Amino acid sequence: MNGYDEKRHLDEDAFGAKGSIVSAFDAFPKSKPQYVTRTTAGGKWTVFVALVSFILFWSEASRWWRGSESHTFAVEKGVSHALDINLDIVVKMKCQDIHINVQDAAGDRILAASRLHRDPTVWQHWVDNKGIHKLGRDAQGKVVTGEGYMQGQGHDEGFGEEHVHDIVSLGRRKAKWARTPRLWGATPDSCRVFGSLELNKVQGDFHITAKGHGYMEFGQHLDHSAFNFSHIISELSFGPFLPSLVNPLDQTVNIASANFHKFQYFISVVPTVYSSSGKSIVTNQYAVTEQSQEVTERIIPGIFVKYDIEPILLNIEEERDSFLVFIIKVVNVISGALVAGHWGYRISDWCQEVWGKRRRRAGGPSEGMLGGKGHERDD
């Protein structure tokens, strides 16, 4: 009788649907806490699914932040007649001993020395700076093959490893030339040449030679023993001066092994437009090939930069999904991870149950089971 009363007083809220008619269509039924059992296996699976979900979320967020880049080539529209060249170079010769000129395919000869700044400096103030490297090699002297990235030093397409939005944001900063280090009583043995030049947008040749060599001119004829065209290029770019962008020849050092040494850089300039989030900057990339060798006294030594303008325009545009699309993708990815984790837990739990039944069967019949000794009938 007592058992019957206990059955009558069971909590019927745990069985069946109560409430409004709408609650009968609930696709997410709940159980009361007293009917839920927490297990160690379930906790392990929860931690595993949470870790996988976090990794997938981070991967999706990183992909969304980077966006996707599209590269398209087109014929440059319009006609532009001018091109700026930005130069910051240290030559291991005194300022009064060098001659700087530009001569282009149009036949114009520009006395670059009158438009550029020249500051006496000391070579040792520059060669110990971090990041200085020989063209084609990194700061440790290893050959740069272009395969993959190098941490903190790799250059890809002339502008390092920055994404387009980084390049656009850096390129919009105010341009400013760095100051020349003070001499502090030291005797200057080098010359820093820096500034921007407006040139004709045609093929040309920018060169630094010794006074009295390279052109028919009156004045001092520099002694050959004073020739030393070792140089450090801190900046060499075309177009607007954007010092935050890294170019192939930036932070390059080349040492002359003799007084008569000729350095040649062959540059192919490609006009480039970077676009991201409705903002864009117009600049130029370039590829460079170097040739340097000792020459005889019949050949003019110096530093020669031969540049050519490609008749194409490279558009690099960064595209990013809207924030709503990003949220939908995150929900899909995490939901898939949760569903997969749930099924993984169910399958593993089923496998453990089957394995446990097989082990019990292998152990023989239990005495407490029906038909065992404990339930034999007395005749």
DSSP string, 17-65: --SSSGGGG-SS----GGG----HHHHHHHHHHHHHHHHHHHHHHHHHH
pLDDT in the model for residue 323: 84
pLDDT in the model for residue 193: 92
Tell me the pLDDT band of 182, cut-offs 50, 70 and 90. confident
Q: Between 52 and 368, whose confidence is greater?
A: 52
| Single-letter amino acid code for the residue at 269 | V
pLDDT over threshold 80, residue 202: yes
Query: Pairing state of beta strands 302-309 and 261-276?
Result: parallel
The residue-averaged pLDDT of 114-139 equals 70
| Single-letter amino acid code for the residue at 33 | P
pLDDT in the model for residue 147: 33
Question: Please, where are the H alpha helices in the chain?
Answer: 2-8, 40-66, 124-127, 164-171, 323-362
**Spatial separation of the C-alpha atoms in residues 205 and 109, rounded to whole Å:** 10
pLDDT over threshold 60, residue 129: no
**Average pLDDT over all residues of the chain:** 76
φ and ψ at residue 68, rounded to 5 degrees? -120, 140
pLDDT in the model for residue 119: 92
Lowest mean pLDDT among 216-225, 226-235, 342-351: 216-225
pLDDT over threshold 90, residue 110: no
370's tokens? 């029906």
Q: Between 365 and 248, whose confidence is greater?
A: 248
Vertex 292 angle, CA 294 and 308, to 5°? 135
pLDDT over threshold 50, residue 153: no
pLDDT in the model for residue 93: 92
The residue-averaged pLDDT of 88-94 equals 92
Cβ–Cβ under 8 Å, residues 362 and 66 = no
**Spatial separation of the C-alpha atoms in residues 308 and 51, rounded to whole Å:** 54
The residue-averaged pLDDT of 36-45 equals 77
pLDDT over threshold 80, residue 166: no
pLDDT in the model for residue 263: 93
pLDDT over threshold 50, residue 152: no
pLDDT, tens digit (0-9, with 9 covering 90-100), for 68-82: 777 888 887 766 678
pLDDT in the model for residue 257: 87
pLDDT over threshold 70, residue 14: no
Q: Between 159 and 203, whose confidence is greater?
A: 203
Largest CA distance in the chain: 141
For the chain, the 3-state helix, strand and coil shares in percent, each to the nearest 5, are 30, 30, 40
pLDDT over threshold 50, residue 156: no
pLDDT, tens digit (0-9, with 9 covering 90-100), for 237-270: 998 888 777 888 888 888 888 989 999 999 999 9
Give 142's DSSP letter: -
pLDDT over threshold 70, residue 87: yes
CA distances from 153 to 31, 164, 231 (A): 58, 18, 20
pLDDT in the model for residue 379: 47
The residue-averaged pLDDT of 314-329 equals 85
pLDDT, tens digit (0-9, with 9 covering 90-100), for 276-306: 877 888 888 899 999 888 988 888 899 999 9
pLDDT in the model for residue 194: 92
**Spatial separation of the C-alpha atoms in residues 204 and 266, rounded to whole Å:** 11
pLDDT in the model for residue 261: 92
The residue-averaged pLDDT of 343-372 equals 72
**Spatial separation of the C-alpha atoms in residues 305 and 192, rounded to whole Å:** 17
